Amino acid sequence: MTRKEGVVLKGTGGIWHVRSDSGETHEASLRGRLKQERKADRKLAVGDRVVLEIDERGEHWAIAEILPRHSKLARREPGEGQGERIVAANVDQVVVVFSAAKPEPHRRMLDRFLVIAEGNSLQSRIVINKIELVDKEETERAFSDYVAAGYPVHLTSVKQRVGLDELHDVLAGKTSVLTGPSGVGKSSLMNAMYPGLDLRVGEISESVGKGRHTTVGALLHPLPDAGYVVDTAGLREVGMWGLASEHLDACFREFRPHIAECKFGDCTHRVEPGCGVKRAVAAGSISAERYDSYLRLREEIEETEKKWAPYSAASKAKKKRRG
Ligand SMILES: Nc1nc2c(ncn2[C@@H]2O[C@H](COP(=O)(O)OP(=O)(O)OP(=O)(O)O)[C@@H](O)[C@H]2O)c(=O)[nH]1
Ligand SMILES: [Mg+2]
Ligand SMILES: [Zn+2]
């Protein structure tokens, strides 16, 4: 029997497109046994590595095995929901693209993307495009707190072909989730680095809609040299992806060393005395804007938790009854 390994590029209606390591793409369905297992925790996602097997007649490929993943970008249900939808597997980094102007960078939205990545234990990079429209030094200063927090910041201009080689280098051989608001130049960047690569990146397709239960499918694009880009519609749409409010602080990387200094273990870093985070803000080692972002996001998450509390209580009770 012919067996080969490959990576899942996309899935539609139970048919998965798998690119084998030798470069061909096959359509395959999940073996029955795996379909059962899948109901548990192992949902197949783009980026997953799988073992394909062909049937005796040499006609149909099936996914016989899902190989262990080293990372994932997942979306949890709010509240205590156990459900988790995996957007992409084996992601190496999240690349968040904004523009220096037209449209103006939106720091709160940037922080939101970074939190989603941190919540999934994924590394992020920040790209600021259209750098030729502004004063470069000023922009560098504006994003210096992200550099200080440990995020690589790339300044690019598609128009003047600045920074494209460096960006190309950090994408090579990796699986990157590319995201960012509309109009910042994501498609332009990809086209400038990889002519002919046709990405949908970041577009919120009309047909996808905004219903809570609509599946927003991600696609994995092989890069011409090596590596993949995950093209996912609607990364920013879904609030904080079910992140619990008490975990938000650790998703601000530069807060981490200070959280341990808080007097109270469950410090929300708002009004509590002896707060290490607030002390760091006062001392200037945490930027006031990042702290403000934290406060707003925390409020937003707590609102969602309040809304979902009755449902999660009900689902807990149901589980208890079932035993
Ligand atoms: N001035 C300037 N304009 C740019 C640059 N890069 C892209 N643009 C322009 O910005 C506009 C939006 O670029 P896109 O590549 O479509 O942006 P996008 O991020 O893919 O947007 P969505 O697909 O809607 O998410 C286009 O008119 C581009 O020509 C740049 O470096 N400088
Ligand atoms: Mg685009
Ligand atoms: Zn605190």
The one-digit pLDDT tens for each residue of the chain (323 residues) are 689 999 999 988 789 999 999 899 999 999 877 777 655 445 789 999 999 999 888 889 999 999 999 999 988 765 555 567 788 999 999 999 999 999 999 999 999 999 999 999 999 999 999 999 999 999 999 999 999 999 999 999 999 999 999 999 999 999 999 998 889 999 899 999 998 786 765 544 434 444 333 334 788 999 988 899 997 765 655 556 778 899 999 999 999 999 999 999 999 999 999 999 999 999 999 999 999 999 999 999 999 888 877 776 666 666 566 65
93, 174 in Cβ contact below 8 A?
A: yes
Task: Count the Cβ atoms, other than its own, within 10 Å of residue 223.
Answer: 19
Residue 127 and residue 52 share a domain: no
CA-proximal residue: ligand 1, atom 7 (nearest): 185
**Residue 309 host element (H or E):** helix 288-322
Domain count, the chain: 3
For 20, phi and psi rounded to 5 degrees? -75, 160
Sort strands 72-76 and 84-89 into parallel, antiparallel or unpaired.
antiparallel
Q: Of the bound ligands, which one is closest to the alpha carbon of residue 189?
A: 1
Residue 60 and residue 100 share a domain: no
Residues with CB under 6 A from ligand 1: 129-130, 132-133, 157-159, 182-188, 201-203
Domain that holds residue 287: 245-317
CA-proximal residue: ligand 1, atom 14 (nearest): 185
269, 256 in Cβ contact below 8 A?
A: no
Cis amide linkage into residue 222, ω under 30° from 0: no
Residue 198 and residue 85 share a domain: yes
Q: Of 42, 66, 90, which residue constitutes the final position of a domain?
A: 66
Residue 153 and residue 284 share a domain: no
Residue 261 and residue 196 share a domain: no
Q: What's the 187 CA to ligand 2 centre distance in angstroms?
A: 4
Residue 271 and residue 219 share a domain: no
Residue 91 and residue 139 share a domain: yes
Establish if 239 belongs to a structural domain: no
Residue 144 and residue 187 share a domain: yes
